[in-house]
Structures are given as C-alpha cells and as structure tokens.
Structure 1
Amino acid sequence: MEYALPMKTTTLTLDDDLIQAIESEARHTGRAPGQVIERVLREALLERAPAKPYKLRWVTVEGPLQPGVDLDDRSSLLDRMEDRS
C-alpha cells in the first residue's frame, strides 16, 4: 500500500503572461505546470530565508577620556556627543 504526503489543492488567479511563462517552462522541462509553480515558489521562499544572526565582535580598548569629558555629567556628555559644546 502506498502512502501519499498530505497536500492541499488551491486555486490561483494569475496574469496571462505568467500563465504562458509557466506553461512554457512546463513544456521545456517536461513537468506539470503545478510542479513548475511549486518549484519556483520554494526557490523564492528559500532565497528570502533569514540569514544566520550577525554576531558583533565587541572590541574595547583602554585609554584616557578626552579633555573636558565628565562621565558623571550626563547633560554635558550628551551636548559634547551632539557637538553642542
């Protein structure tokens, strides 16, 4: 006894030029139009798959503060960072 994977049937409304392209690809590859659509959709969705998360390499160095910088004076620090001093 053969078992089939569960599949859904759906109806798509496509532009005529897209239908012609699908039918042309189906003839060219010897596949059914539904197989062409499925392959193209899978490829398109896999291309959009999120990339691996970026890992930031945090590098710190020791050094003195710039003259006039007081880390305890938040207002002054923000002014200096925004070039308002």
Structure 2
Amino acid sequence: MRTTIRLPQDLYDEVRETALRERRTVTSLIEESLREALASRSHRRHDAPFSLTPVGGDGGLRPGVDLSDQAALEELMTDARP
C-alpha cells in the first residue's frame, strides 16, 4: 500500500541517514519502527496494572467494604438503592 506521511525535516534526515548507514530503504526502516512502536503500546496496555483511587471524604472505603468479595459488594449496592 502507498501512503504519504509528513515528517519534520530533521526527523526525515535522521531516518534517511540511518537507512543509508544500515544499507536499507527508508520505507523498511519506517515500517520496522512503526511495528515496534505498535507492539510496545499493545504490551503496555495489557501489562499495566489497574489501580483504583477513591476520591472524596477521607479517601478510603466505607467500613466493612472488601473489594475482593463480589457477593458482598453486590449486596451493599443492592441495599444502597432507593
């Protein structure tokens, strides 16, 4: 597939010089770089731990709330409904 991209001149110059030094095409260098960047983002997204930071009040949970006990959480939410 053909496409056109716009790069700052200094970045293109660096890519071109790297490609010449490695005896490869600018296209192959850009393709490899994009594949590596996308793979890195994909791994980061899945590997990043999720953390929950409560806001408001004293910043903690209600007394007796255990986030690892789903049944108890559902009961608390059901009881809290009007």
Could you say which TM-score interval applies, normalised by the shorter chain? 0.5 to 0.7
Equivalent residue pairs, number: 50
> Structure 2 stretches of 5 or more lacking a match?
50-61, 64-82
2: CA distance, partners of 1:38 / 1:51:
23
State the match for 1:30 in structure 2. 23
**Structure number with bigger Rg:** 1
1: CA distance, partners of 2:8 / 2:38:
20
Secondary structure of 1:51's aligned partner: helix
When the two structures are superposed, what TM-score results if normalisation uses the length of structure 1?
0.51
> Structure 1 stretches of 5 or more lacking a match?
1-7, 55-77
What stretches of structure 1 move > 6 A for 4+ residues in a row?
none
Percent identity of equivalent pairs = 31
Matched, 1:21 2:37: no
Residue 9 of structure 1: which of 2, 10, 31 is its match?
2
When the two structures are superposed, what TM-score results if normalisation uses the length of structure 2?
0.53
**When you count helix as a share of all residues, which structure comes out higher?**
2
